[in-house]
Every structure is written in C-alpha cells, then in structure tokens.
Structure 1
C-alpha cells in the first residue's frame, strides 16, 4: 500500500505577518471583547473550518470603526493566517466598483438614471441605466461567453464585445433582478471612460489610498494564501489556477485582507467624506431591485452594488465573493455599527456569509451596543422648534421630532403606520429619507402673518387639530364641526 503526502496550503510571504497567531490562541489586542464572547466567536470559526474542510479560514469583527476581534484556523502544520494575509475576494470587488460609480454621480458627472449609451456608446446594451447595472436589473447574462472567465486568462476577452458576446441580454431591461458579472465589467469600463484612466488606478487613487487599504490590490502581494480545491469525497487538495481576469476585473479581481475589509465595512456603514458621504453609502444599501420569489422567502435583496439580507432580526448589508480556490464574505449591521469578515482559501466548503452573519449576531447579542449619553442639542432654531409636537393627518395623531442630526422625524404617536426621517434642505423644507415618504418634500405652509397654517407632505395636509376648521383640508371640513351621534 502506498501513501501520498499532501502539500500544506502555504501562505506566500516576504516578511512575517503583523499578527501571528499560535494554534488555539488569540492575539492580545482582542481584550476589547469579553472572554465568553471571544470564545463563542472562535468556536464558530473553528466549526466552520472543520465542517467546511477549509485549508485555512480567517475572520475579523469590527465595531465602532475598530478591529475588536480576529481568529484564524488552519490544518495541522499549517501557518495560522493573520489579518494582514491576502485572500482573493471575488465579487466583493463589485462593491468597490459601485463606490467608484457613486462618486461619479456625486460629482455630477453622471446620473444613475442615465442610459449607459450616454457615457459608453456602442456596447449594444446601452438602453440599461447605470442604476440598473448596479442593481443587476439590466437584463444582462450572468456570465460572459465560454470558456468560463474565472478559470481562463483575461487575454481571451480583450474587448467589451468579447465579454458581452453576440446575445448579451437574457431578460427585458429593468424587469427583474438577474445577477450579472458582465454588467459590472461595463461599470468598470464606464469608470475608465469618464475618468480617462484604468479602473485599478482610479480605485487605488480614489478609494484604497484615502481609506488606508494598503493591502488591497489587483494582484497578490506577499503574504498571501494559495487557492485550493478540496476533493468532495477525500481529504486531499488540488491547487487552483489564479488568473488575471482582464476586462472582467471590476467584477472580481481584487485580493485583500481581513484587516482591510474590516476597515472597508466600517466605511460602508458610516461613510467617509473623502470617498462617499454617509447618505450615499446609505443609498447603496437601500433595496434597488425587485426580489425574486426565493429571495422574498429568504429575506434577501440587492441594493446598488450591495447584497442585503435579514438575519436574526437585523438587516445586514455587504457582499459575498468567490473565485476558484477562494470564498469570502463582508457583512455589517449599520444599526449596530458592527461588521464581520470571513475569508477562506477553498473553492467550496464553508458558508462564509452565514458565518459572517453569525459573528455579527454573537457580538450584538452578547455585548449590545451601549448608546451614547443623551445630551441636549447645542442649538435649535425657534422656527423649527415651533414645528415639533403633535400633528394630525385626518384623525391620526403624528409626532414631529427634531433629530440630533438636525433633521426631522415623523411617525404615529402610537402603533404602526408610516414613518420617516427627513433631511433639511437648508431652505425651510425637508426631504424624506425612507419608507413611504422617501424623496417626498415636507414643508411648513405659513399664513400671511408668518404663523404656521399646516404641514404639507406630498399633498398630505397635517394640522394641529384633527380636521381643523379653516385649514385647507382636502375635501373641506363640515362647518358644524364635531357633534355627538344623532339620536
């Protein structure tokens, strides 16, 4: 009987990792979380590595903008990867590309409703809008024509026509959500056309450098992990090829680390004025595509370059990624200011997105976020303060409050109903940010003497008293007013 030894999955490196972790130990910097929480996180990662039969798996948790925990597991004899070891992150690249497109929108260089043809003519799919490509509703095919782009050189597809093929559409434009890798190739080409520079160069200049993502790159930089396939019926390994994706790079080229992606997750939750505002990243994680029936059942949807899912009662945003030899997930809860990264170097195995969601849940439930102390506002304009309090839409009492951010919130005083926050437009009007009133204009209508007559919100009239006499209530108010039930 002959036995064959299997190669250990190496991490190529030129210098030691900044965070070397001995087997079954955690680095000292993780003291910010309670020991029981750290053990629960390590247990989840360890189970995922064993059950997924992953050559290695590294995970990190970010809270309040700081890396508060990381853990890694690898097979016997394998080096424990630190948070600065690169893995290929696949389609998480799409979120980086989406950030570049949103920057172009915020600079006024394009509009999300623009058809692609306006900025990138001659593709043959120019009817699809920028927003539809970001949300995978452009009707494009899921993949480029054969041979499969993830396992073959990008040099086989040097032009956009090679990526799109002779029949690039699978569905009518704008009708349904259909995940499309070529769609993000088009968005990368759009960035290059508008900026006049290669996609990766623009990405480095406008996102990676400002956010301090020094270990995120288009090609691997030591130390990095090799990608492996694990035999489905035996515990043996096969190396996977690592191709330069060429034109398909904006859909899945990047390599990154748990540390860099933790920083990126924090940016996606909070925004950073050097790259994108909090309002713009919030827009990215707002559902923008009609969910398929299966997605309705599982509570998943898609925003603008971000996947959305409901997990344990909280909304998570982020993206998963996979390329031959690698699996990855970045998930965060903006409400909890908490995110998780999971990276592995195998073609299939651990469910990284489920693991990441579980890491968020473990910390959120074991150590719920302690709110900032309440403090009074530094200032509040008398004209705005006069609007606060109860208002009536018909007979329903609504509460208008001034938020700490200087905007307004409006919602039922009790029970369910339409609620929204509103941002100030600086001219005495406010714009709704979510729900039924998203994008709708709220304004106080004043009488000739300057006093407030009523609030107008998208043609809804809110008055200080229910069906207030003299107010412009649609349909009018019976002049005899309120009365008992007639006998």
Structure 2
C-alpha cells in the first residue's frame, strides 16, 4: 500500500526501519510488518522478510491472538450501553448453567474472576475445536484457581464465556456480532475469523538452528472470542484510532475511556494494569494502551498513546523469539520522542457563564490550597496549587453538578453549596468542603470553626 512517508522526517523513518530490521534479524522471525498512525492517518509502514517470494505489507493478514479479546470487550460494552446487561450482573443472569455463574461480567472483562488461565489439556491453541464442543470442556473440572475479585489472573476461558454471553444476549454468533457491530462500521474489511489472502503462514523457529516448522492454524470454536482473529496492520490501526477516540457508530468516547481505566492491578511483566479488554503499560515517559497477542506461529502488538495521538502495530509470523509487543511500544516511542505532537493553538472560549466564571480561582480544603479552572463544555479542573495532592478534571452534568473523571475523585460529585441569599458558601466534593479562605469564618465547614480564630502560640 502507498504510505505518506513524507509526513515523517527521514531520520525518523530511518530509525523505524532500523528497529524492525534489527527485531526481525535478532528475533529470527520469517517476517515482520509494522505501521504507525498519527493524527488520523497512516504515516509509515515497513516490513522485513526472510522468505523468498514473501513480500508482506500493511495489508497482509497475520493472526493476532489475544488482541481478539479487545474486540470481544467492545461487544460486551455495547450490550451494557444498550441497557441489555450491567457490568455488575452475575454471569448466571444471562448465561445460566456454566457452574461459575457467580462471577460478574466486570470481573470477566478485567481478568479478576479467578478462572483458570487455560482450558484443560490438550493444548487448545494447537488442537481442533471439536475437542471442546461445550463450555464445560473449556472450563474443565476445576475452572477456578482463585476467589473472584481478589486478584488479576489472565484467563482465556473467561473470554470464552464472554463470547458465549454475547451470543446468548444478541441471538447471533460472536462472529456475526463482530462483523455487524465493529468491523463493518469501522471499515475493517481485512479482519476475519479465518485467513484471507494475502496472509502470512505461521512458523515455529528452532531455538538452536535456523530452520522452521509449520504451525497448525486451528479454528478455535467456542474459544474464538479469546483469540481467533486474523487482521492487518492497517486494519488494526483503524481499530486503535477508535479505541483512542470512540466512534458513536460503535462505542462512545466515554465508554472507550472506561475500557482504558485499570480494573485490575499489574497484569503482566511490562504492564501496569488491565482495564476492560485493554492492557495499560507505562514506558519511561508515557502511558500507553493496547493489547498483545500470540498463537502458535504468530505474535502481535498494538499500542496507542492518547496524549501523543500515535498508534503502532507490529505483527510477526513466529511462535516465539520476536517480542512484537515490545517492538510496537519502541516504535511508538521513536516517533513520539523524535517528532513531539504539535499542540493545538490556544483559543478563548466562545462564550462564558458569569456565574460559572465566578467559581474559578483559589479555593481551600482545610489549609491546602487549590485552583479551579473553567474548561470547554462547562467543565472544571481542580488542582493543588503546589502540585502535591489530589486533583482532577470534572465533567458538567445537567443537574448543575460535576462528576470527577480520574484518580481519587473519579465518579465523585462536585456541587456548589449556596447560602440563603444565593451567594456561594462552599464547594462540596464528596463531603470535603472547599472554601475561599482556609476554614473561612461563617462558612458551613464540617466541625465548625474555633471562635478564637487564627492565633499565635507565643510563650
């Protein structure tokens, strides 16, 4: 495919090519494809191959393994947004008879349901789905290894259950729901359940010799929702753009932001948490979101940085050896560090509510000093003046209150408390009273104010 490489500096393109060339050589992958999306378009793609006659590009399919889980999570979130399920619903409410029905949809999405990591023997990724015709064959005799909600434990059977949940609620197959609700709206025509040419073949590379062994490409059957899909670098970058910004045809910006919010602590080495179908990782200088994937013969990595507006995909056709997830993250860092995002110009608000403007400025919680700023859409940002302490952005609500968007105050309500004459007495944030002066005289501060006021403690 033609890629507008001129949009990246020659030095950046050279660094990207060098990184994938080194990765393909050192990882001894038969082939490697990578691509970068920035500010709404693919700005670079590259490939390296060691197979005669195989010239992959960003339109070549590779198997993406567990990146399929993110697609499944989007389908589940759509059910929630349509009011058909609640994330706190027990699985039993919608999919009875599994034997683990007490776990919640939320726990399954975030891998905190305590289910086993894998299906019972034989190894499900290299054997026919006909060996696991029922959910009981996927779950086995001991489906839970931990108490639900107590810890993160990655579970392929857990996402198998979510796929069956989607089918039970929608009344169509997981594949049909995926095609109709995600792939078609986003224009992902090269993402399919089975390989469609041009596609790469999956290989195992001998650890001590430069020879290869063909890997089977099994249909996963019931476990499709955990790792079935084939896709291309170009298609996955479309998906990454959706995960960063939302698309009302599929899922709102608020819902994809919810998917990016960690629901479980440290997931795996190199990650800091797991959201709802999305991994969260911290590099040296930025927070990135995405997912990794592997199946016999293939490894894949998809990462995006919301702040930098960059997404990267790396795909390779080797069972092991080449860490595609790390390569993708490194490519993102190369672009972001070499060519930092140019910020949008500052613009004044088109209009302002004088009553809202009057709320801005300095406020005190006890003796801690904060500033309150007005943002577009009647939003507010609360920050500690010295940079130490809790703060967050707030989203305006129709009832005249605001809801916190992150960290300690996520979901908490900020409201204005007024005196009988209509003037502002204080701001209430989750029961914390913010006043214009520290423990302001006459304000309705919990616990009252010492009538002696501020005083010294001289001898």
Do both proteins adopt the same fold according to a TM-score greater than 0.5, normalized to the shorter chain? yes
1:407 Cα deviation from its structure 2 partner: 1.4
2:452 is matched with which residue?
Answer: 480
1:466 is matched with which residue?
Answer: 438
1:360 Cα deviation from its structure 2 partner: 0.7
1:111 is matched with which residue?
Answer: 86
CA distance in 2, matches of 1:78, 1:419: 57
Matches within 5 A, 1:25-424: 29-75=4-50, 77-291=52-266, 295=269, 298-424=270-396
CA distance in 2, matches of 1:406, 1:96: 33
1:128 Cα deviation from its structure 2 partner: 0.7
Is 1:312–1:361's contact at 8 Å kept on the other side of the alignment? no
1:76 Cα deviation from its structure 2 partner: 5.7
Q: Once the two structures are superposed, what CA deviation does each residue of 1:387-415 show, in whole Å capped at 9, x if it has no partner?
A: 11111101111111112343111110222
1:483 Cα deviation from its structure 2 partner: 2.6
Three-state SS of the structure 2 residue aligned to 1:400 is strand
Is 2:413–2:430's contact at 8 Å kept on the other side of the alignment? yes
User: In terms of mean alpha carbon deviation, does 372-381 or 340-349 score higher?
Assistant: 372-381
Q: Once the two structures are superposed, what CA deviation does each residue of 1:306-351 show, in whole Å capped at 9, x if it has no partner?
A: 1111112211110000001100000111111111100001111211
Is 2:33–2:46's contact at 8 Å kept on the other side of the alignment? yes
Three-state SS of the structure 2 residue aligned to 1:225 is coil
User: In terms of mean alpha carbon deviation, does 315-324 or 397-406 score higher?
Assistant: 397-406
CA distance in 1, matches of 2:378, 2:233: 35
Structure 2: any 5+ residue segments left out of the alignment? Answer: none
1:300 Cα deviation from its structure 2 partner: 2.4
Three-state SS of the structure 2 residue aligned to 1:91 is helix
1:474 Cα deviation from its structure 2 partner: 1.5
User: In terms of mean alpha carbon deviation, does 475-484 or 48-57 score higher?
Assistant: 475-484
Structure 1 runs of 4+ off > 4 angstroms? none
Matches within 5 A, 1:5-44: 19=1, 29-44=4-19
1:451 is matched with which residue?
Answer: 423
Three-state SS of the structure 1 residue aligned to 2:176 is helix
1:64 Cα deviation from its structure 2 partner: 1.5
CA distance in 2, matches of 1:474, 1:450: 20
TM-score by length of 2: 0.98
1:447 Cα deviation from its structure 2 partner: 1.6
1:278 Cα deviation from its structure 2 partner: 1.4
Three-state SS of the structure 2 residue aligned to 1:132 is helix
Aligned length: 459
1:353 Cα deviation from its structure 2 partner: 1.0
CA distance in 2, matches of 1:28, 1:178: 40
